[in-house]
Structure 1
Amino acid sequence: MVFRQIALLLFMMAGTNLHAQEYFEKQYAGVWQRSLSYSKAVAEAMPAERYRYKPTEEAMSFQRQWLHIADNISMLTARITGDRKAFYNQEDASGFAKAEVLNILDSANNYVLDLIRNASASQLNETIEFGGVSMTKENIFYLLRDHQAHHRAQCLVYLRMNGVKAPDYVGW
Structure 2
Amino acid sequence: MKAQLLSTLENARQYTMNVASAMPADNYAFKPDTATWSFNDLLHHIGYGITWCNDNYILQQPADWNPPTVTKDAATTQEYLSKSFDILQKSIENVDTDEKVIHGFYATLDHITHHRGQATTYLRCQGITPPEYTY
Q: TM-score, normalised by structure 2?
A: 0.88
Q: Report the CA distance between 1:28 and its aligned residue.
A: 1.1
Gaps of 5+ in 1: 1-23, 126-135
Please state if 1:48 is matched with 2:25.
yes
Could you tell me which of 30, 46, 51 is aligned with 2:7? 30
Could you tell me which of 139, 142, 145 is aligned with 2:106? 142
Gaps of 5+ in 2: none
What amino acid is the match of 1:50? N
Please state if 1:107 is matched with 2:83.
yes
Q: Report the CA distance between 1:110 and its aligned residue.
A: 1.2
Per the alignment, residue 163 of structure 1 pairs with 127
Moved over 6 A (4+): none
Q: Report the CA distance between 1:83 and its aligned residue.
A: 7.1
Could you tell me which of 42, 45, 60 is aligned with 1:65? 42
Greater per-residue strand proportion: 1
Q: Higher RCO, 1 or 2 (CA under 8 Å, sep at least 6)? A: 2
Who wins on radius of gyration, i.e. which is larger?
Answer: 1
- How many equivalent pairs are there? 130
Question: C-alpha distance in 1, partners of 2:87/2:51?
Answer: 9
Q: Report the CA distance between 1:74 and its aligned residue.
A: 2.3
Question: C-alpha distance in 1, partners of 2:121/2:32?
Answer: 10
Q: Deviations over 1:25-50 (max 9, x none)?
A: 23110111011000000000000111
Q: Percent identity?
A: 27
Q: Report the CA distance between 1:67 and its aligned residue.
A: 0.7
Q: Report the CA distance between 1:157 and its aligned residue.
A: 0.6
Question: C-alpha distance in 1, partners of 2:25/2:3?
Answer: 37
Question: C-alpha distance in 1, partners of 2:127/2:116?
Answer: 17
RMSD (Å), alpha carbons = 1.7
Local SS of the residue matching 1:52: coil
Local SS of the residue matching 1:111: helix
Q: Report the CA distance between 1:137 and its aligned residue.
A: 2.8
Question: C-alpha distance in 2, partners of 1:28/1:154?
Answer: 24
